[in-house]
């Protein structure tokens, strides 16, 4: 059994904030894999479903970001889930917009949601880090993460969270490398090589404008 946690802040005011991309990704997973509806539980909203044959509980803490560990700890204790079976999806300032990286454990790197989870539950969780870019100046970080995504950014955000949802079975089965590769392939499809001409067949020269 897995606990899938999306980090964010509750309420319409924060819904489209950069800090809420974890909520957006978990919502996409719940839609993609036909989970049961969210209901109020564990100081947040929880929905149950199955991914790749494994039972998964999706959780969006409503404690606000700085106290996310309260909700994660409550859900994990109820289901008797260990930290290594928890997947936390969150925004990452140190990654370019739309980039995905996965790591297990480690420091919180200034992320208050992770810091709360580490303190109140444990830091041996899996982290799916979704890049939101950096404002360039440390003093601007707080305002930056609590701003809505710009209209031009909302062109890539749905694609990224849908790619995460599509590849989530690989993460649930414990294959983070394959998960990252599939997300990258969805977001950056490789060009299909044209068939090679048969032996002895002349190659048609490119027309003007095709070069």
Task: Answer for the pair 30, 58: CB distance below 8 angstroms, yes or no.
Answer: yes
Whether 209 is in a domain gets the answer no
| In the chain, % of residues over pLDDT 90 | 84
Whether 130 is in a domain gets the answer yes
pLDDT (0 to 100) of residue 210: 47
Residues paired with 47 in a beta bridge: 58
CA separation for the pair 136, 201 (Å, rounded): 55
Helices 112-120 and 68-79, packing angle to 10 deg: 40
Active site residues: 19
Residue 208 has pLDDT above 90, yes or no: no
pLDDT (0 to 100) of residue 195: 62
- Which tens digits make up the pLDDT trace of 26-78? 999 999 999 999 999 999 999 999 999 999 999 999 999 999 999 999 999 99
Residue 124 three-state SS: coil
Whether 204 is in a domain gets the answer no
Whether 144 is in a domain gets the answer yes
- Which tens digits make up the pLDDT trace of 66-122? 999 999 999 999 999 999 999 999 999 999 999 999 999 988 888 999 999 999 999
Cβ-Cβ contacts under 8 Å for 211 (sequence gap 6 or more):
none
Domain count, the chain: 1
Whether 197 is in a domain gets the answer no
Q: What is the pTM of this model?
A: 0.88
In the block, residue with structure tokens 């095709």: 210
Residue 211 has pLDDT above 50, yes or no: no
Give which of 128, 105, 103 is closest to 183, Cα–Cα: 128
What is the residue range of 137's domain? 2-187
Whether 206 is in a domain gets the answer no
Domain of 129: which CATH number? 3.40.50.1470
Residue count (the chain): 211
Angle at 25 between CA 22 and CA 30, to 5 degrees: 125
């Amino acid at each position: 059994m897995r606990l899938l946690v999306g980090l964010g802040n509750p309420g319409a005011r924060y819904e489209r904030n950069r800090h809420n991309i974890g909520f957006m990704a978990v919502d996409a997973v719940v839609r993609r894999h036909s989970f049961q509806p969210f209901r109020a539980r564990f100081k947040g909203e929880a929905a149950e479903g199955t991914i790749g044959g494994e039972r998964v509980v999706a959780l969006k803490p409503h404690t606000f970001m700085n106290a996310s560990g309260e909700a994660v700890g409550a859900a994990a204790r109820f289901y008797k889930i260990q930290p290594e079976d928890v997947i936390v999806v969150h925004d990452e300032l140190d990654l370019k917009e739309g980039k995905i990286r996965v790591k297990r454990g480690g420091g919180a790197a200034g992320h208050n949601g992770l810091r709360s989870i580490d303190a109140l539950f444990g830091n041996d969780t899996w982290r799916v880090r979704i890049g939101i870019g950096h404002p360039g100046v440390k003093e601007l970080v707080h305002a930056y993460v609590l701003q809505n995504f710009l209209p031009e950014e909302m062109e890539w955000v749905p694609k990224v969270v849908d790619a995460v949802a599509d590849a989530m079975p690989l993460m649930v089965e414990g294959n983070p490398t394959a998960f990252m590769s599939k997300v990258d392939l969805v977001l950056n499809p490789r060009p299909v090589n044209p068939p090679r001409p048969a032996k002895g067949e002349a190659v048609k020269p490119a027309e003007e404008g095709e070069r």
